[in-house]
């Protein structure tokens, strides 16, 4: 016999989960009690939303679904933003939430919330467990759903009486029963052949790699394809790192804050091969126009994304790694030397703006300096806003990862995600970059970083404003600024010191190199406050 709570723990252990991020409350206490001496590490965050973001960072780096836990009511509802963030970027998460007893459901009792209803638009699937005997199967299914096909968050709502009730587990009872779910892995052979032919016939082919390439672990296959076929490639923000930045076949990030030569490539191409990208509006602002002038190959594991935003000439459903393997097997050759020359010329002519500023730092140069000083396999978690655009545009990816909230653009993502990433890869260097607005949204997690031993380095790009909103108000609202002044509180270095975290403030160009080196050399969590002018614009 075992209790529902013990079954949840057993289910986690079966999936080889060794870390969960969470925040307890009464309703979820039976689960927490079963965690004691389970061997599973619990990382206590300081706000439930950050448990979700931390699990997101952990999942992205470990390549497997990660777990966040919250209690019923407000604990669960605090997770919603984190679930929505993960849903938009297809991150595999399992959220366990406490719930009031089954006989009290619907009576508006203390800390009751219809979380399965509220989270429905932001989860791949959800369960409200009413029978403890279902738990082994539910957890099996939840992990499978979260981590397969197009990954995404799955929520399991656990009423307290179900956690406390006992049942006799029967062998085989935990087998997943998902007759309506079978993601396509292997691409249709005929379509694969059509793609090979289209690439061979195109005069100006271009690969566009999205987050799906990274989710599938298909970086080696993408590189092999571009090299053997002689194909140029660009990346979406979520696809940064699909190819190393310095790779000769890589022509930068496209889209709103992308490189001009990348956008040139996208608009001049006669064949666009989109792999693991969903044609988000920040990547391609006018998909209809583009589809009219360009042949589109769309390779994605989610058939609903193909044709959703942009008409497709050759749709191909499948896992990125598998499909790229199939393409390589058939042998792909592009014949586009003049096109490559054009792109090379565009790329070579680009001059980044690293010019020093009189009294503050140039944030682009700062990101470049940081990136060069980081380890090859370093992980950079960027937040949202101007700092995100500057980071995305100026980091040099070698074998590391770039983690950010792309689709939802959730401020406060970077610090908790960095904590999760660090705990998933304790031996790797992890840096969080954020503006001072986002910093204040998640600063409570400084305690989590110290308490959990996650030695993340935090770079705060400080301009005392909500920079991107200010830019937007200047551009679109006649410069009528409102609600964008953050002021100069708190004193970041004093705040960091309050957490026992070494911190330093810099504002002069010459200080950046040594300060960044010193930051990265710190053994534990450390913070670098970098003063930047509010007049800087993106990118």
Partner 1 sequence: MKRTLSILVENKAGVLSRVSGLFARRGFNIDSLAVGETEDKAVSRMTVVADGDEHTIEQVEKQLNKMIDTLKVKKLEDTASTRRELILVKVTAGTAQRGEVIDIARVFGAKVVDISPTTLTVEHSDRPERIDLLVELLTPYKIKEVARTGTVALEKGCGTIGLKK
Residues within the interface to partner 1 (CB under 8 A): 116-117, 120-121, 124-125, 128, 145, 178-181, 302-304, 307-308
Strand order in the sheet with 430-435: 401-403, 379-382, 430-435, 457-462, 526-531, 503-506
In this complex, which beta carbon is closest to partner 1, that of residue 123 or of residue 362? Answer: 123
Cα 350 from Cα 342, distance rounded (Å): 13
In this complex, which beta carbon is closest to partner 1, that of residue 107 or of residue 351? Answer: 107
CB of residue 69 to partner 1, shortest distance in Å: 22
Parallel, antiparallel or unpaired: strands 430-435 and 401-403: unpaired
CB of residue 406 to partner 1, shortest distance in Å: 20
CB of residue 303 to partner 1, shortest distance in Å: 6
Other C-beta atoms closer than 10 Å to the C-beta of 110 total 10
In this complex, which beta carbon is closest to partner 1, that of residue 121 or of residue 500? Answer: 121
Cα 281 from Cα 279, distance rounded (Å): 6
CB of residue 124 to partner 1, shortest distance in Å: 7
CB of residue 101 to partner 1, shortest distance in Å: 18
Cβ burial, residue 446 (10 Å; 0-12/13-18/19+): buried
Q: Please name which of 350, 9, 346, 18 lies closest in space to residue 158, comparing C-alpha atoms.
A: 9
CB of residue 154 to partner 1, shortest distance in Å: 9
In this complex, which beta carbon is closest to partner 1, that of residue 80 or of residue 530? Answer: 80
In this complex, which beta carbon is closest to partner 1, that of residue 178 or of residue 193? Answer: 178
In this complex, which beta carbon is closest to partner 1, that of residue 124 or of residue 259? Answer: 124
Long-range contacts of 395-399 (CB under 8 A, 24+ apart): 395/240, 395/245, 395/367, 395/368, 395/370, 395/371, 396/245, 396/246, 396/368, 396/371, 396/372, 397/240, 397/241, 397/244, 397/245, 398/244, 398/245, 398/246, 399/244
In this complex, which beta carbon is closest to partner 1, that of residue 66 or of residue 128? Answer: 128
CB of residue 470 to partner 1, shortest distance in Å: 32
Residue 85: both structure tokens together? 């963030």
Cα 452 from Cα 143, distance rounded (Å): 25
CB of residue 288 to partner 1, shortest distance in Å: 11
In this complex, which beta carbon is closest to partner 1, that of residue 304 or of residue 345? Answer: 304
Report the run of H or E that residue 193 belongs to, with start and end.
Answer: helix 189-201
In this complex, which beta carbon is closest to partner 1, that of residue 307 or of residue 409? Answer: 307
CB of residue 184 to partner 1, shortest distance in Å: 11
In this complex, which beta carbon is closest to partner 1, that of residue 121 or of residue 356? Answer: 121
Residue 352: both structure tokens together? 């980044």
Q: Please name which of 392, 382, 391 lies closest in space to residue 412, comparing C-alpha atoms.
A: 382
Residue 127: both structure tokens together? 């369960």
In this complex, which beta carbon is closest to partner 1, that of residue 107 or of residue 480? Answer: 107
CB of residue 181 to partner 1, shortest distance in Å: 5
Cα 414 from Cα 433, distance rounded (Å): 7
Parallel, antiparallel or unpaired: strands 503-506 and 379-382: unpaired
Cα 448 from Cα 19, distance rounded (Å): 14
179: three-class secondary structure by DSSP: coil
CB of residue 213 to partner 1, shortest distance in Å: 21
Parallel, antiparallel or unpaired: strands 2-3 and 166-167: antiparallel
Beta strands (DSSP E) in 330-474 are: 379-382, 401-403, 430-435, 457-462
CB of residue 334 to partner 1, shortest distance in Å: 30
> If you write DSSP's letter for every residue of 356-381 in order, what string do you get?
PPSSSB-HHHHHHHHHHHS-TT-EEE
In this complex, which beta carbon is closest to partner 1, that of residue 304 or of residue 489? Answer: 304
Cα 356 from Cα 363, distance rounded (Å): 10
Phi and psi at residue 109, to the nearest 5°: -80, 175
Cα 63 from Cα 270, distance rounded (Å): 34
Cβ atoms of 136 and 110 closer than 8 Å: no
In this complex, which beta carbon is closest to partner 1, that of residue 277 or of residue 531? Answer: 277
In this complex, which beta carbon is closest to partner 1, that of residue 121 or of residue 331? Answer: 121
CB of residue 93 to partner 1, shortest distance in Å: 16
CB of residue 225 to partner 1, shortest distance in Å: 27
Cβ atoms of 527 and 492 closer than 8 Å: yes
């Amino acid at each position: 016999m075992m209790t529902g709570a013990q079954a949840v723990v057993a289910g986690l252990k079966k999936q080889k989960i060794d870390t969960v991020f969470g925040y307890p409350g009464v309703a979820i206490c039976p689960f927490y009690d079963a965690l004691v001496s389970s061997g599973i590490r619990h990382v206590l965050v300081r706000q439930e939303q950050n448990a979700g973001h931390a699990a997101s960072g952990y999942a992205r780096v470990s390549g497997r679904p990660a777990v966040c836990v919250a209690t019923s009511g407000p604990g669960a509802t605090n997770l919603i933003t984190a679930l929505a963030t993960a849903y938009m970027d297809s991150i595999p998460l399992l959220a366990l939430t406490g719930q009031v007893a089954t006989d009290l459901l619907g009576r508006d009792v203390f800390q009751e919330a219809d979380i399965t209803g509220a989270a429905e638009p932001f989860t791949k699937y959800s369960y409200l467990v009413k029978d403890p005997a279902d738990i082994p199967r539910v957890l099996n299914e939840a992990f499978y759903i979260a981590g397969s096909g197009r990954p995404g968050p799955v929520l399991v709502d656990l009423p307290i009486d179900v956690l406390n009730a006992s049942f006799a587990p029967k062998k085989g009872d935990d087998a997943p029963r998902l007759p309506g779910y079978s993601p396509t892995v292997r691409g249709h052979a005929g379509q694969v052949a059509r793609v090979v032919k289209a690439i061979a016939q195109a005069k100006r082919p271009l690969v566009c790699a999205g987050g799906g390439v990274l989710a599938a672990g298909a970086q080696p296959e993408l590189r092999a394809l571009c090299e053997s076929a002689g194909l140029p490639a660009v990346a979406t923000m979520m696809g940064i790192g699909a190819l190393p930045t310095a790779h000769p076949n890589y022509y930068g990030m496209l889209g709103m804050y992308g490189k001009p030569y990348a956008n040139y490539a996208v608009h001049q191409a006669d064949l666009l091969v989109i792999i693991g990208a969903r044609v988000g509006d920040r990547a391609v602002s006018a998909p209809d126009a583009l589809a009219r002038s360009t042949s589109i190959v769309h390779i994605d594991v989610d058939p609903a994304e193909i044709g959703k935003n942009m008409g497709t000439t050759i749709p191909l459903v499948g896992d990125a790694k598998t499909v790229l393997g199939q393409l390589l097997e058939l042998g792909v050759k592009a014949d586009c030397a003049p096109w490559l020359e054009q792109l090379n010329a565009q790329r070579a002519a680009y001059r980044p703006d690293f010019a020093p500023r009189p009294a503050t730092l140039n944030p682009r140069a700062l990101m470049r300096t940081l990136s060069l000083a980081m380890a090859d396999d370093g992980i950079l978690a960027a937040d949202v806003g101007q700092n995100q655009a500057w980071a995305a545009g100026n980091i040099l990816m070698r074998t590391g990862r770039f983690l950010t909230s792309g689709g939802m653009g959730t401020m406060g993502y970077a610090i908790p995600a960095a904590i999760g990433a660090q705990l998933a890869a304790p031996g790797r260097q992890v840096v969080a970059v954020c503006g001072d607005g986002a910093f204040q949204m998640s600063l409570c997690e400084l305690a989590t970083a110290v308490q959990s031993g996650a030695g993340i380095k935090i770079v705060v790009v400080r301009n005392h404003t909500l920079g991107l909103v200010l830019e937007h108000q200047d551009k679109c609202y006649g410069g009528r600024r409102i609600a964008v002044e953050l002021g100069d509180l708190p004193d970041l270095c004093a705040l960091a010191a309050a957490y026992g975290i070494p911190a330093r403030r810099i504002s002069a160009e010459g200080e950046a190199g040594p300060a960044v080196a010193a930051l990265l050399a710190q053994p534990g969590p450390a913070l670098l406050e970098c003063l930047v002018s509010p007049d800087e614009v993106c990118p």
